[in-house]
Amino acid sequence: MDVTGKIIGRGAEAILYLNDNGVLVKNRIKKNYRIEEIDTILRRLRTRHEARILTRAKRVGVNTPSVIDVREYEIFMEFIDGKLLKEVLNSTNSSKRREFAREIGKMIGKLHSAGIIHGDLTTSNMILKDDKIYFIDFGLALHSTSVEDRAVDLYLLHQAYQSTHFRYVKELWRNTEKGYMETFKDWDVVLKRIEQISKRGRYAKR
């Protein structure tokens, strides 16, 4: 399958292409600052790890792009041709917005139930297509069942609501919590931990 194509995104460690078959290619690029040995080990490991988590997330009922193929440094996946939730959430009508927030909470609950932490939950990492929300970019995802990791995962989303959708923070958060409670049984300890985290300096508003 074709690795090159039109560049549609560039992060700190990867370039995203859309190839001629309409497939999204996430290519972890070589970093010249680190020695070859470390560079290849990391890129291989992370590529495999991300592909595996994407696949597991899909299996537990979270909308994610389907993984089509994995190579040494590339993941080939379904291109979700929708809109970034960040761009549309503020102009959505209120009942839809509440529904979306609840759906987000439900999906996070499913991830956490499966021992997955997304690691970068913001509305720029969610795509809306045909009224369905997809989680993308599992590049920072990890396996963990710790209360702290789960709480931080959710808290970062709260911060994203606050910075990008400040007018609707309360309704978004209330409905995200609702959804989360529906799909994750230990929700109470996690929500309690979020209160503590918000009082610490480390995750104070950035």
Partner 1 sequence: MICLGIESTAHTFGIGIVSDKGEILANARDTYKPKLGFGIIPQEAKQHHEMVKEDVLQRALSEAGIRLDEIDLISFSQGPGLPPCLWTGLEFAKKLSKENKKPLIGVNHPIGHIEIGRLTTGARDPVILYVSGGNTQVIAFASGRYRVFGETEDMAIGNALDTFARRVGLPHPGGPEIERLAKRGKYIKLPYVVKGMDLSFSGIITAAEKLFKSGEKLEDICFSLQETCFSMLTEITERAMAHTGKDEVLLAGGVAANKRLTEMLNTMCKDREAKFYSVPMEYSGDNGAMIAWAGILAYKSGQRTKEFKPLSRWRIDEVDIKWM
68 binds partner 1 (CB under 8 A): no
User: 3-class SS at 120?
Assistant: coil
Choose the catalytic residue: 20, 39, 120, 149: 120
167 binds partner 1 (CB under 8 A): no
User: Is 72:100 a contact under the CB 8 Å cutoff?
Assistant: no
Residue 73 or 187 with smaller CB distance to partner 1: 73
Give yes or no: 120 in active site.
yes
Q: CA angle at residue 163 from 125 to 119, to 5 degrees?
A: 35
CA separation for the pair 5, 120 (Å, rounded): 26
86: exposed, middle or buried (C-beta count within 10 Å: 0-12, 13-18, 19+)? middle
Q: Which residue has the tokens 């996690």?
A: 190
199 binds partner 1 (CB under 8 A): no
- Selected binder of partner 1 within 7, 21, 34, 189 (CB under 8 A): 34
Residue 31 or 129 with smaller CB distance to partner 1: 31
CA separation for the pair 136, 83 (Å, rounded): 12
Q: Choose the stretch contacting partner 1; rule: CB under 8 A; options: 17-25, 32-40, 53-61, 167-175.
A: 32-40
Q: Choose the stretch contacting partner 1; rule: CB under 8 A; options: 11-19, 67-75, 130-138, 180-188.
A: 11-19
Quick one: which of 156, 140, 135, 162 has its CA closest to 63?
135
| Binding stretches for partner 1 (CB under 8 A) | 11-13, 31-35, 37-38, 41-42, 119-120, 140, 142, 201-202, 204-206
